[in-house]
Structure 1
Amino acid sequence: MKALKRFAKRFKRRRPKPSQTKPQVVDAEPNQPLPLLAPTAQVVPESTSLPPSTDTYGAFSRLPTEIRRQILTYAFGERTVHIDLSWRHPLVRRSAPVSGAGPQGASKKHCGLGEQLVEDNTLPKRWQWFSCVCHRSAETENPTRIAFFKLETTIWPFEDKCLEGEYCDCGGSDRPGQGQEDCFLGVIGWLLACRGAYSDGVDVLFSTNTFYLSSVPLLLNMRRLISPNGVDKIKSVQLALGEPRLTRFAKDPLVHGLWKGTDKEEKACAFPQVCSTVPNLFSNVRRLELYVQSQLWPSRDVPVDQRVPLLVRNVMDPLEDMVRSLGADKQVVIAVTLEAHKALMQKHGELEGAAFRWEPEAGADDSIERYGRFWRALGSDDNGNEVGYWLRTGWNDHDMVNHPYMTYCFGSGGSIFDLWGYYKREAALGRSQYGSNVTFED
Structure 2
Amino acid sequence: MPRTFVHTPTPLLRPHPTATFQTTHHEHGEAFQAQVQRTRVVSIGIGISDSTCEINGDIFNRWKLPTPPPEQRVRKIGARGRNSQEQSIFFRLPVEVRRLIYIELMGDRRVHIRYVWKKPSPFRPQPIQSGPRWDWWHCVCDRSNNFPEDPYFDRCPDWECEKELNVRSPKINGVEWLRSCQLGYEEALEILYKANVFAMDRALDTPFLISRLMSRHCASNITLMDISFPVDVGIGGRGYNESDWMSTYTAFFKLFGETFHGVRRLRLQLQMPPWEVFCEAFNEQRVDLIRSFLEPFDTLSGGREWTRLLLCVPYDWRERLEKFKESMPCQDKWEITETMWSPRGILNCVGMST
- 1:224 is matched with which residue? 212
1:296 to partner: Cα distance: 6.7
Return the match for 1:31 from 66, 71, 75: 66
Structure possessing the higher radius of gyration over alpha carbons: 1
Conserved 8 A contact 1:158-1:293: no
Conserved 8 A contact 2:295-2:328: no
Are 2:114 and 1:84 equivalent residues in the alignment?
A: yes
Question: Per the alignment, in what secondary structure is the counterpart of residue 186 of structure 1?
Answer: coil
Q: Distance in 1 between matches of 2:143 and 2:283?
A: 40
Structure with greater helix percent? 2
- Tell me: CA distance 1:340–1:45, structure 2 relative to 1, closer, same or farther (3 Å): closer
- 2:155 is matched with which residue? 161
Q: Deviations over 1:408-429 (max 9, x none)?
A: xxxxxxxxxxxxxxxxxxxxxx
Question: Per the alignment, in what secondary structure is the counterpart of residue 244 of structure 2?
Answer: helix
Q: After TM superposition, list the pairs within 5 Å mapping 1:11-26 onto structure 2.
A: 26=62
Percent identity, aligned pairs only, is 20
- 1:206 is matched with which residue? 193
Q: Deviations over 1:120-154 (max 9, x none)?
A: xx9654323101211149xxxxxxxxxxxxxxxx9
Between 1 and 2, higher relative CO (CA 8 Å, sep ≥ 6) is seen in 2
- Tell me: CA distance 1:250–1:130, structure 2 relative to 1, closer, same or farther (3 Å): farther
Conserved 8 A contact 2:157-2:169: no
- 1:128 is matched with which residue? 135
Q: After TM superposition, list the pairs within 5 Å mapping 1:373-392 onto structure 2.
A: 378-379=329-330, 388-392=333-337
- Tell me: CA distance 1:399–1:307, structure 2 relative to 1, closer, same or farther (3 Å): farther
RMSD between aligned residues: 4.5
- 2:319 is matched with which residue? 342
Question: Per the alignment, in what secondary structure is the counterpart of residue 97 of structure 2?
Answer: helix
- Tell me: CA distance 1:43–1:233, structure 2 relative to 1, closer, same or farther (3 Å): closer
1:294 to partner: Cα distance: 4.3
Q: Distance in 1 between matches of 2:328 and 2:130?
A: 51
1:324 to partner: Cα distance: 2.0
Q: Deviations over 1:190-227 (max 9, x none)?
A: 20221111111201111111111225333113233112
- 2:263 is matched with which residue? 285
- 2:339 is matched with which residue? 394
1:241 to partner: Cα distance: 2.1
Are 2:294 and 1:333 equivalent residues in the alignment?
A: no
Structure 1 residue runs of 5 or longer lacking an equivalent are: 1-23, 95-116, 138-153, 168-176, 259-264, 353-375, 380-385, 401-442
Q: After TM superposition, list the pairs within 5 Å mapping 1:430-441 onto structure 2.
A: none
- Tell me: CA distance 1:56–1:159, structure 2 relative to 1, closer, same or farther (3 Å): farther
Paired letter, 1:289:
R
Paired letter, 1:71:
I
Q: Which moved more, 1:285-294 or 1:201-210?
A: 285-294
Conserved 8 A contact 1:292-1:335: yes
Paired letter, 1:208:
A
Paired letter, 2:228:
A
Q: Distance in 1 between matches of 2:230 and 2:86?
A: 44
1:230 to partner: Cα distance: 1.4
Conserved 8 A contact 2:83-2:183: no
Conserved 8 A contact 1:248-1:297: no
Work out the number of aligned pairs and report it. Answer: 274
Are 2:278 and 1:271 equivalent residues in the alignment?
A: no
- Tell me: CA distance 1:90–1:155, structure 2 relative to 1, closer, same or farther (3 Å): farther
Structure 2 residue runs of 5 or longer lacking an equivalent are: 1-59, 346-354
- Tell me: CA distance 1:59–1:328, structure 2 relative to 1, closer, same or farther (3 Å): same
Paired letter, 2:73:
P
- Tell me: CA distance 1:317–1:128, structure 2 relative to 1, closer, same or farther (3 Å): same
Return the match for 2:241 from 257, 272, 276: 257
Q: Normalized against structure 1, the TM-score is what?
A: 0.51
Q: Distance in 2 between matches of 1:57 and 1:189?
A: 21
- Tell me: CA distance 1:87–1:250, structure 2 relative to 1, closer, same or farther (3 Å): farther
Q: Normalized against structure 2, the TM-score is what?
A: 0.62
Are 2:95 and 1:65 equivalent residues in the alignment?
A: yes
Q: Distance in 2 between matches of 1:186 and 1:395?
A: 32
Q: Distance in 1 between matches of 2:263 and 2:336?
A: 18
1:58 to partner: Cα distance: 1.5
- Tell me: CA distance 1:72–1:396, structure 2 relative to 1, closer, same or farther (3 Å): closer
Paired letter, 1:389:
W
Question: Per the alignment, in what secondary structure is the counterpart of residue 137 of structure 2?
Answer: strand
